[in-house]
């Protein structure tokens, strides 16, 4: 099905990666806050920042691991206070997504980062929802929200967050698990995920970014997630790789994030091609694009520049992103036929 695209010349790849319709399934909306917007919102809200300028803030984006990033990421989010702030942040992301030919985006948001500072859950969800509706009507982008629990906090806190969220149940499609992975295994959230499952929410979790393969196994077996966010450390357990391939469990891989957080030293050492060769349903995503040096198309471009990947891989990755999304089959089929057209024209 896809091998026929291998003959598309490599110099056509950048245009093809740009033009192909794609879904983005792993993007933390708070991670799309560009330094310029952080400063503008700080000024609008009278929030003091500990960096004197946009340049100084950007220079601080030199991370050694996940935690060193999270410390700055939570500080950046402190400028978000009002509904309009959440709207403006998400709208800025959707404009970037449009430029990258993203047809569908499933956005993570971290309510606890905001409710802990006294911002109401309602403020967060209303601002994000209105941006999603605007993206649909003005840009033709389909989107959905996935609420993440912060895993460095307790399961009791996660239950409280779920309770706050339930009056807005129609505004989000699922739940995820993010923040500091090591020392906070999936099973810590077994009961709250079971509750979310009963409620009919879609389930995902970050696992195997910095944490070991057992975290991926427990995300599947204990939390019963449908997709694994990151998951790159699965390669350390061949039986797990085989299982993921057999089940067709999607991995939402974030190549630039992995380099910036030192999961891999260089892009040339990234295991994305290995994962694809093992038959895994790999997707490419931006994670926290304002912090990691690029939106989704930059992730595709830099990955393809560094690894032995051709147009057949591009097709597979874009198709995987559409198939792994939580939308109905009719929408998926429509986007896949658009994708087929783009590749037919290029071939
Ligand atoms: N990993 C875990 N938590 C996060 C990330 C990530 O890459 N981005 C934002 N929160
Ligand atoms: Zn993430």
Site to probe by mutation for ligand 1, drawn from 209, 232, 290 as the one with most ligand atoms within 8 Å of Cβ, is 209
34 lines ligand 1 (CB under 6 A): no
- pLDDT tens digits, residue range 249-288? 999 999 999 999 999 999 999 999 999 999 999 999 999 9
Give catalytic residue positions: 209
66 lines ligand 1 (CB under 6 A): yes
Q: Using CA positions, which residue lies closest to atom 10 of ligand 1?
A: 179
209 lines ligand 1 (CB under 6 A): yes
3-346: in CATH 3.20.20.140: yes
pLDDT at residue 1 in the model:
53
Query: What distance in angstroms lies between residue 86's CA and the mean position of ligand 2's atoms?
Result: 18
pLDDT at residue 2 in the model:
72
- Where the chain has pLDDT below 50, the residues are none
255 lines ligand 1 (CB under 6 A): no
- pLDDT tens digits, residue range 137-196? 999 999 999 999 999 999 999 999 999 999 999 999 999 999 999 999 999 999 999 999
Query: What distance in angstroms lies between residue 25's CA and the mean position of ligand 2's atoms?
Result: 10
Assess contact for 182 and 210: CB atoms under 8 A.
Answer: yes
288 lines ligand 1 (CB under 6 A): yes
Atom of ligand 1 nearest to the CA of 230: 7
């Amino acid at each position: 099905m896809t091998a026929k695209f291998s003959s598309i010349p490599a110099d056509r790849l950048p245009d093809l990666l740009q033009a192909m319709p794609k879904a983005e399934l792993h993007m933390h909306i708070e991670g799309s806050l560009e330094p310029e917007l952080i400063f503008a919102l700080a000024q609008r809200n009278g929030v003091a920042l500990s960096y004197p300028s946009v340049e100084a803030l950007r220079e601080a984006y030199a991370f050694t691991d996940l935690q060193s990033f999270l410390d700055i990421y939570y500080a950046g989010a402190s400028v978000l206070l009002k509904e309009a702030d959440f709207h403006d942040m998400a709208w800025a992301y959707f404009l970037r997504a449009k430029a990258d030919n993203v047809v569908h985006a499933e956005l993570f948001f971290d309510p606890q980062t905001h409710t802990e500072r006294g911002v109401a859950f309602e403020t967060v969800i209303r601002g994000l929802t209105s941006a999603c509706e605007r993206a649909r009507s003005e840009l033709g982008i389909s989107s959905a929200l996935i609420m993440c629990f912060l895993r460095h906090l307790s399961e009791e806190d996660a239950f409280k967050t779920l309770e706050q969220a339930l009056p807005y149940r129609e505004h989000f499609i699922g739940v995820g698990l993010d923040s500091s992975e090591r020392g906070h295994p999936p099973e810590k959230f077994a009961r709250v995920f079971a509750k979310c499952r009963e409620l009919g929410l879609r389930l995902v979790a970050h696992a195997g970014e910095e944490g070991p393969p057992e975290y991926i196994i427990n995300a599947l077996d204990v939390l019963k997630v449908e997709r694994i966010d990151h998951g790159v450390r699965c390669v350390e357990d061949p039986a797990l790789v085989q299982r993921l391939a057999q089940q067709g469990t999607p991995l939402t891989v974030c190549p630039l994030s992995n380099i910036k957080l030192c999961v891999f030293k260089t892009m040339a050492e990234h295991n994305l091609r290995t994962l694809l060769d093992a038959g895994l349903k790999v997707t490419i995503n931006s994670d926290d694009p304002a912090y990691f040096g690029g939106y989704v198309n930059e992730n595709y471009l830099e990955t393809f520049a560094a690894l032995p990947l051709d147009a057949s891989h591009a097709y597979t990755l874009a198709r995987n992103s559409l198939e792994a999304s939580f939308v109905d089959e009719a929408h998926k089929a429509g986007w896949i036929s658009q994708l087929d057209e783009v590749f037919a024209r290029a071939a």
